[in-house]
Chains A and B, each alone.
Chain A
Amino acid sequence: DTAVSQTPKYLVTQMGNDKSIKCEQNLGHDTMYWYKQDSKKFLKIMFSYNNKELIINETVPNRFSPKSPDKAHLNLHINSLELGDSAVYFCASSQEAIPHEQYFGPGTRLTVT
């Protein structure tokens, strides 16, 4: 059973388009996250949700809008895609607000051309 799943795994699109990435966890966790990993493998937190409420928004452009329809899902919608949005996006979840362990999804590689 996959603990944290993301779809799609690969996403290639043109500048200016709007796209969504979906994330689901079946671990019963309360907290979910989105991270962006650049080409140098640097990981940056984007958003954190706890019980469907936005807790952390790390100065991410408002073209990025997370949505959590329920505790098990945290989707990421991106408007007006730019070249600099090309990266690997990871979803993660944890049980606690101060996480003793985060479980990561397999990542979505977004390429904007």
Chain B
Amino acid sequence: GNSVTQMEGPVTLSEEAFLTINCTYTATGYPSLFWYVQYPGEGLQLLLKATKADDKGSNKGFEATYRKETTSFHLEKGSVQVSDSAVYFCASSGTYKYIFGTGTRLKVLA
């Protein structure tokens, strides 16, 4: 069946460091791919998405490219801020549901 695997956290970085959170997927067909962010005490918010191969999603300085050949959708940001501290979820779309990764906690230190 479909699955999403993302790197385990926590990831701890200093402010202005470069961020990569790895995500790979398995799927039949060509799902849409997403990154969601969950700030403490809140629900999930869509951060970015890509609906087909080679699409790049971007938002708030974060980027991810849909790579069909490596079945990956890695999240990157060039310079993280303390306010980026949160849990990040990679997900793929299935019929009537998402398949979520296990989440990666990011902590950014000032």
Contact = CB atoms under 8 A, between A and B. Distances in A.
Interface of A: 4, 31, 33, 40-43, 45, 48, 50, 55-56, 90, 92, 97-107
Interface residues of B, number: 23
Given A41-B38, A107-B42, A107-B43, A56 B51 contact: no
Interface of B: 32, 34, 36, 38, 42-46, 49, 51, 87, 89, 93-98, 100, 102-103, 105
A90 B44 contact: yes
17 contacts: A31-B96, A33-B97, A41-B102, A41-B105, A50-B96, A55-B96, A92-B44, A97-B96, A98-B32, A98-B94, A99-B93, A99-B97, A100-B49, A100-B93, A101-B34, A102-B46, A107-B42
B97 A43 contact: no
A103 B98 CA distance: 12
A90 B98 CA distance: 13
Contacts of A55: 96
A43 B100 CA distance: 7
Contacts of B105: 41
A50 B34 CA distance: 21
